[in-house]
Amino acid sequence: MLYFIVLTRLCNLNCIYCGNNPEPEIEPLEIQYKIDDLKKFIEADPDPTIAFYGGEPLLRIPIMEQIMDNIKAKRWILQTNGYFLHLIKPKYLRKFDAILVSIDGRKEVNDFYRGKGNYDVVLRNVKIIKENGFNGDLIARMAVSEKTDIYLDVRHLLNLDDPKFDHVHWQLDVMWDSPPYSRYNNFDKWARDSYMPGIRKLIDYWLETMEKRYEVLGIVPFLGIMSRLLGLNKQKHLPCGAGINAFTISTSGKILACPIAPEFDWNILGDIWSTSFQGLPFKVMVGEPCLSCRYYNICGGRCLFANKTMLWGLDGFRKVCNITKYLIDELKKIEPNIRELIQGEKISLRDLNYPIYNNTTEIIP
C-alpha cells in the first residue's frame, strides 16, 4: 500500500489556492512519534510505498533521511514545492522512484499563483537533481484555477527540454475553498469558455502526436483514464486510492484516509500503534451521488474529500462532475483511434499503462 508521511505541516510558501495556515490544535506542526514506531507499522506491510508529504517535506530533510535509512520500502516518492530540491544528497535522490514538483505552467501563471520568482527557482533546482543522479519519474504537478489556460500551460510543461518532465498532472482548484467559488470571478464561464475547450484542444494534440510521431505524451489524466477505458486498469474505485490502498500517517501518528483532511472524524482510521494495515482498506468510501453514476467505474468518485464535505453544495459538486464527465467523454471519442494505433503497432499498450503503481497522481483532476 501507499503511505503518505507528513514530515511537517509547515511550508515556506503562501500560494493563492492554499494559504499555508496549518492549525496546531488540529494536528501538531511536527512529527510527535518515534521513527521506530513508524518502522514497526510500515514494515508489517510486505509491499509498502512511502511518499513524503507536507506542508513542505523538504523543510525536514534530516527526518526524511532518517526514515529512508531505517525503514524498508519498495518505492519512494516525494511531493515538493521544489524550493529545497538542491539540498537532497545524491545518495537519497537515487532512491526515489518518482518526484512530483509543484509548477503551474507558464512562468507568468505559475508566479501569479505561487509567488514572483518561483518558476525560475523550481526549474533551476529540477535541473540540479537531474545532474545529481535522479533518474526516476519526474512529474510536474499543476494546480489549475481561473488564470490557467489548460492547453497552453500543459503544453508549455510538456515542451520544456532542460529540464524535461516525464509527466504532467493537474488538480482543479475546486471544492476546498470557503465560501464557494471565492477564487473565481465566474467559475461557470471559465469552465465553459476556457477549461473545457482547452481540454478538447489538448486531447487533439495528444492524439496528433501519437498519429504523426508515434509518441505517447505523458499527460497523466489522459493516460490514467485511457488505461481504464482500455481495460489495462481494472480498479473501479478512487484512482487516488484514498482509503483503499493509500493512507496518510499524520504528524500525531494518526492514520488518515485522505492527507488533506485531518480535522474530519470520518477521515481518521486509527493510529500507528494500535491499527493493523490489513484493517485499513475500505473503512471509508465515497457515497452518493457517485455510486449510482454511470461514470463511476472510470472516475471512481473523483475525490473522497469533495464527496464527503460538499463544500460547494450538491449543485457545485455536480458542476465539477460535469467537467469530469466531459473529460471522459472526449477521451472516449478517441478510444477507437488509440486502438487502431495499437493494432497497427504504432504505439503499444505499455505506453498507455500509467501509473503502474500508485505514485500519488490522482488521475482525475
Q: What are 170-198's pLDDT values in tens digits?
A: 999 999 887 899 999 999 999 999 999 99
Give the other-Cβ count within 10 Å of 115's Cβ.
Answer: 16
Note the pLDDT of residue 19: 66
Please tell me the predicted confidence (pLDDT) of residue 177: 86
Decide: pTM greater than 0.95.
Answer: yes
d(CA 199, CA 185): 20
CA–CA separation, 175 vs 194, rounded Å?
A: 19
Q: In whole angstroms, what is the distance from residue 326 CA to residue 204 CA?
A: 14
- Residues paired with 75 in a beta bridge: 49
> Quick one: 2-352 is in which CATH superfamily?
Aldolase class I (3.20.20.70)
For residue 84, what pLDDT is reported?
98
Q: Residues of the chain whose pLDDT is less than 50? A: none
Q: Looking at residue 233, what is its pLDDT? A: 84
Q: What is the pLDDT of residue 12?
A: 95
Phi, psi of 316 (to 5 degrees): -65, -40
> What separation in angstroms does the CA of 46 have from each of 159, 209, 246, 255, 269?
39, 40, 15, 18, 20
Q: How far is CA 17 from CA 135, 141, 145, in A?
A: 30, 14, 8
Distances (CA, A) of 121 to 58, 116, 234: 15, 10, 39
